[in-house]
Chains A and B, each alone.
Chain A
């Protein structure tokens, strides 16, 4: 391996056939480049989708009422379902439910005001369990509590961007009063959220306070919950079914009716995405390996030509006492050298492209939920280099074998 004479020979032969070497190397470099590019792109997609899930707890159910789509016991199709506070309280008692919350939306368009400042922020009225489900991160003060709801306290928890708009600092905002659609609420907490700017322009109110202030009765617009972390996908599907049947009984609709109350099972969705990405990775790996195989065949082919061209030289070496292992070793080393060098160039080019894409995406603020951080891990990079060494050795095997079988007599008379 660290044989100066052999390297001298390999490099001089490659140098004498520059164009051929470059073209052959390009096929391998291209294969690795494509593989890195596809893998990185696949990872980018996956990162994007995983980021989307990161906003909310993955182990969550989202429950939206709609209208019945099937007739049931003489009741017509198209009946609107309206969720109530009582549904949330009942939901909280289901086995396996960890945190739960309802959401009540304050209708109409309005500005949130603080002193002379006013801006249109979104408002959600929720239960305390919402904190964990939305993965809200409290940075100052506290979130909505059970007491806030029970005592109908007029308190508000505001997002970081709301705080920045109204107050000099988050600390300065705590205890101040803001006006939401005519109601005055005391700021008791400031939060951050991985969901991005939109989530941090949010204001949370106690659900019951908001219902009372906005003639909402005890109506809820949606329910959400998280299940125990260690629940399997199958167990969550069972829970989903139990909830659907319970709601069907209460609201008198067909338990098979998926429209009346739709339940979005986050775990099942996440699992589905995981399976999808696994499938994509398998296809990418398969495609990459086949492309690499094409590259190896190109190298193997060129090595066969090299062996043929150097038949006489190999014959002379044998006459001078070169053993078969000398000949085989030199051919395989040359093959590995071409494969590894050009593969490394492809790897670097692929990583550079992804780095450029990532930088460009970040600079243009285009990172979105569907594509972010295209990258390959260093383990992947090391694995592909090892793969290249193996591929190079395989590519050199047949030519080396042919070279070793050359008879010196025939070689020298050629």
Chain B
């Protein structure tokens, strides 16, 4: 599903260049539930942004569902994100002026699905995350866990091939965190590839596989304790 070949990414800083990703090779198959682990500054967010076509890379090749993702226009990138990817963020990022249902329906709005149709679909997805009764609630009337479940429903509504989650449990207590992880597992069981960036080991342990990043390099088969922050 995802294939990275010798991806390099550096940022310009005041003095010179900061080499964030160094010759990263990565294969993630269809239907995998993978965590990306690493301490802050390891490059895991950059990696996720490149996977999410939110950021560009300097050299190498990135294939998403056998499509080369390179030198895309803003419009094309938006289309790929909308079609292939679902995003879940640490801070939920729900739009404050839309209720739960409208927030979930938003990706379909960008696909020009009619309001009636997309709101009906959004209700099904809210049902799936157990929030059907809350469809008309505004984000500020929802708890953190509820917000994240709305966000997951939103990530799923466009039927993505890959769901990318950036510290999805970072702002949640442990009980809620497990509920959210169960939801990701449920999503994964439907055959959707799920990639979770986290620094929490117990979250990582619930995944099929952990990809460990340190100083922009992927480490394989090393002792977990080496990454304990």
Give residues of chain A (391-414) contacting chain B, Cβ–Cβ below 8 Å.
404, 407-409, 412
Tell me if B216 is interfacial: C-beta within 8 Å of chain A: no
Tell me if A316 is interfacial: C-beta within 8 Å of chain B: yes
> Which chain B residue has the least Cβ–Cβ distance from A8?
B97
- For the side of the interface on B, what is the size category? 20 to 34
Further contacts, 8 of them, CB under 8 A, given A319-B87, A320-B110: A9-B97, A9-B98, A313-B93, A316-B93, A323-B75, A326-B110, A407-B54, A407-B55
Question: How many residues does chain A have at the interface if contact means C-beta atoms less than 8 Å apart?
Answer: 25
* B81 and A320 form a contact (CB under 8 A): yes
Give residues of chain A (305-325) contacting chain B, Cβ–Cβ below 8 Å.
312-313, 316-325
* B107 and A320 form a contact (CB under 8 A): yes
Tell me if A13 is interfacial: C-beta within 8 Å of chain B: yes
**B143-177 near A? 1/0 per residue, CB < 8 Å:** 00000000000100010000000000000000000
| Neighbouring B residues of A318 by C-beta, 8 Å | 54, 78, 81
> Which chain A residue has the least Cβ–Cβ distance from B89?
A412
Give residues of chain B (5-55) contacting chain A, Cβ–Cβ below 8 Å.
49, 52, 54-55
Tell me if A5 is interfacial: C-beta within 8 Å of chain B: yes
Tell me if B111 is interfacial: C-beta within 8 Å of chain A: yes
* B93 and A312 form a contact (CB under 8 A): yes
Per DSSP, chain A at the interface is helix
* A5 and B75 form a contact (CB under 8 A): no
Please measure, in the bound complex, the distance between the C-alpha atom of A64 and the C-alpha atom of B5, giving whole angstroms.
102
A-to-B contact residues, CB < 8 Å: 4-5, 8-9, 12-13, 16, 312-313, 316-326, 404, 407-409, 412
User: Which of B52, B54, B102, B107 is within 8 Å of A5, CB to CB?
Assistant: B102
Please measure, in the bound complex, the distance between the C-alpha atom of A323 and the C-alpha atom of B102, giving whole angstroms.
18
Tell me if B136 is interfacial: C-beta within 8 Å of chain A: no
| Neighbouring B residues of A408 by C-beta, 8 Å | 54
| Neighbouring A residues of B78 by C-beta, 8 Å | 318, 321-324
- In angstroms, how far is the closest chain A Cβ from the Cβ of B174? 25
Q: Which of B74, B78, B79 has the most CB of A within 10 A?
A: B78
* B109 and A5 form a contact (CB under 8 A): yes
- In angstroms, how far is the closest chain A Cβ from the Cβ of B117? 13
> Which chain B residue has the least Cβ–Cβ distance from A411?
B54
* A404 and B79 form a contact (CB under 8 A): no
* B74 and A412 form a contact (CB under 8 A): no
- In angstroms, how far is the closest chain B Cβ from the Cβ of A189? 76
